[in-house]
Amino acid sequence: MDTYEFIADDLSQTAELASQLASLFRPGTVVALDGDLGAGKTAFSQAVARALGVGGVVVSPTFTIIKEYEGTELPFYHMDVYRLSMEEADELGLDEYFYGDGVTLVEWASLIDDLLPAERLSIYIEYMSEHARRFRLVPVGEPYIHWCSRLKENGLLR
Ligand SMILES: Nc1ncnc2c1ncn2[C@@H]1O[C@H](COP(=O)(O)OP(=O)(O)OP(=O)(O)O)[C@@H](O)[C@H]1O
Ligand SMILES: [Mg+2]
């Protein structure tokens, strides 16, 4: 499996990665986010939301589990499964989101690994310093593999 790397020196570069990716998103896109508390999963998700044209405030879904933003060309589904057991997650019927018309981002995705589509873009975010983060992207299946290789050709990823 090929992996790709992006170093964000600050929040604006995290937003740049988010917006470059978001411009490629299509119905049924699934992005699995992992990384320690405060790594930047929500910050990245907020930047994706803005890039998709979601207006207003995009809050962390830690307490709501799933936030749905509609009314944009691509509906945006933002999940945080940190507080869920596998059993609870299973009962939510997440496939309706994953295989629906929108884009789904899942924070703490590895906690429900068995419930995620095999084909997805996994992103692991690592804290480097106060403002710097390392993003490791692991695409499985199309179109994700194609997106990453394109963004590497463009010089965004390495
Ligand atoms: N380059 C960067 N990319 C992302 N976040 C950054 C960056 N630099 C600083 N930050 C800050 O790091 C914090 C990341 O918090 P965020 O809530 O996004 O983390 P999280 O991974 O969602 O944590 P949690 O697991 O608690 O949900 C924010 O305060 C954000 O402003
Ligand atoms: Mg978060």
- Residue 60: predicted pLDDT: 83
Q: Could you report the per-residue pLDDT of 24-39, keeping only the tens digit for each?
A: 999 999 999 999 999 9
Share the mean pLDDT of the chain.
95
C-alpha span between 62 and 120 (Å, rounded): 22
For residue 140, give both structure tokens: 């499985």
Q: Are 14 and 44 in contact (CB under 8 A)?
A: yes
d(CA 14, CA 29): 19
Residue type, 21: L
Structure confidence at residue 99 (pLDDT): 96
Nearest-angstrom CA–CA distance, 55 and 98: 22
Please report the pLDDT score of residue 109 as a whole number: 97
How close is the Cα of 11 to the center of ligand 1, in Å? Answer: 8
The CB-side HSE value for 9 (13 A sphere, CA atoms) comes to: 0
Within 13 Å of residue 135, how many CA atoms lie on the same side as its CB?
A: 30
Please determine, for residue 102, whether its predicted confidence score (pLDDT) is greater than 90: yes
Q: How far is the CA of 125 from the centre of ligand 1 (A)?
A: 10
- The residue whose CA has the least distance to atom 2 of ligand 1 is 11
Distance of CA 47 from the midpoint of ligand 2 (Å)? 13
Lookup: tokens for 42: 């929500």
pLDDT of residue 8: 98
pLDDT at 144: 98
Q: In what order do the strands lie in the sheet with 133-140?
A: 4-8, 133-140, 120-127, 29-34, 103-107, 76-80, 66-69
Confidence of residue 64 (pLDDT cuts 50, 70, 90): confident
Asked if residue 156 has its Cβ within 6 Å of ligand 1, the reply is no
Closest CA to 119 of 45, 41, 33, 30: 30
Give the per-residue pLDDT at 58.
Answer: 80
Best CA proximity match to 74, nearest among 101, 97, 96: 101
Kindly report the protein residue whose alpha carbon is nearest to atom 16 of ligand 1. Answer: 40
**The ligand 1 atom nearest the CA atom of 46:** 18
Whole-number Å distance between alpha carbons of 44 and 147 = 18
Which pair of structure tokens corresponds to residue 4? 């790709």
